[in-house]
Amino acid sequence: MIASRQKMLAIVCGGGPAPGINSVISSVTIEARKNGWEVLGIYDGFAHLCKGIKNVVPLTIDMVSRIHYDGGSMLRMSRANPTKAEESLRKAVETLLDLGVTHLVTIGGDDTAYSAFKISEYATQQLGMSLQVVHVPKTIDNDLPLPEGVPTFGFETARALGAQLVSNLMEDARTTGRWYFAIAMGRTAGHLALGIGKSASATLTIIPEAFGTGQIRLQNLVDLLTASIIKRLALKRDYGVAVVAEGIVEKIAPEDLKNLEAHCFDEHGHIRYAELNFPELLKQAVMKNLCDLGVKMTIVGKEIGYELRCAPPNAYDIEYTRNLGYAAFDFLRNGGSDALITIQNNRITPISFAEILDMQTKKTKVRMVNIHSIQYQIAKEYMVFLEKDDLDDSMKLKALAAVTKLSEGDLVKRFAAVAL
């Protein structure tokens, strides 16, 4: 009788950090070890695997028993993309199999989920080997295709800390008479920006979903912000904070960003927002707008994101990630594979990779903010935008025009397009 193959579970962390990664690592490792499985931690995401390098560490219960309180990732991580070239994918799969790995837990966002799917597919279809894979959805962007109301882990911690930072900026703005443009992380969707802006009672929050499916011109965004500043001044408030989702950049017409250099894009083809310096670009454009209108205002651009990613997880995310780690192992132990793990209505609910893939792009679907939801409608109710009523009401229009050097008629012509 042939002895059964020793079960070896590997853990890979891909993409950017998020609060709670260590808690998942801890939970998965403890459950696997309790059941007699070996556990390997893979350092630096797929970076070494893609090159056929075995940079790993055996994980034990003692090593991980208290790391759930820590931010960051004990295994570090990277955005290395094993699907970028067939050779990289082959080396990643062969290296895992050569290490004796029978089961793989990936922790990451949409790109890592897609990489996990391709690794499992390659092992089965090209090498005829079984490699059971489960993905734990991680991103402070909250944009993986989970059911509405089910967050990705790390989001709640990031939102809470981001709201505290924006609240501090709001008080500084009030005290000093200035505006802040806080650009919040969120590569495509506006979940984090909206969560931060609503929780901190920011003056307004701008997310890409609010502009529909088409492209927008940079000048439209600039006019929208300019109009809000003018309205606040007309209300005798010379300060404010605008939270802007960085994903808005992906909606701006390419000709408005034509000077982007190659280093502004990562291995998955996404814009590196830190390289773009979007806060400064937006600040300068609005300052020029205001200057042309005869309005004096100090504006400070701030990025909010890197401060959030490696924060220690809050109680919600610790409990959530321990649950997800347990659920991921339970799924594999019971023969499951090729799925993203979720917990819905207090039940472990896997979602197959096939369900979360966009069949046209062959990439993972992205969950956008539902702008028709009551949560968004309430958030918008408390934002300060220029409204059509402001331009139709003679008293309000007079107050707005008095802030600028425009006549009332010229002000209507200038900003009617961005009045909501």
Strands in 103-108's sheet, in edge-to-edge order, are 56-58, 38-42, 8-13, 103-108, 132-137, 339-344, 347-352
- Interacting residues of 347 by C-beta distance below 8 A, sequence separation 6+: none
The whole-angstrom separation of Cα 273 and Cα 52 is 30
Q: How far, CA to CA in Å, does 354 sit from each of 133, 299, 365?
A: 13, 46, 10
Distance CA 380, CA 352 (A): 35
* Residue whose tokens read 């966009």: 358
Q: What are phi and psi of 113, to 5 degrees?
A: -60, -45
| Helix orientation angle between 110-125 and 86-98, rounded to the nearest 10 degrees | 70
Please pick, among 141, 317, 338, 390, the residue that the annotation labels catalytic.
Answer: 141
Pairwise CA distance, residues 368 & 287, whole Å: 30
144 close to 340: Cβ distance less than 8 angstroms:
yes
User: Does the active-site annotation cover 141?
Assistant: yes
What's the number of CA atoms in the CB half-sphere (13 Å) around residue 283? 18
| Residues labelled as active-site residues | 141
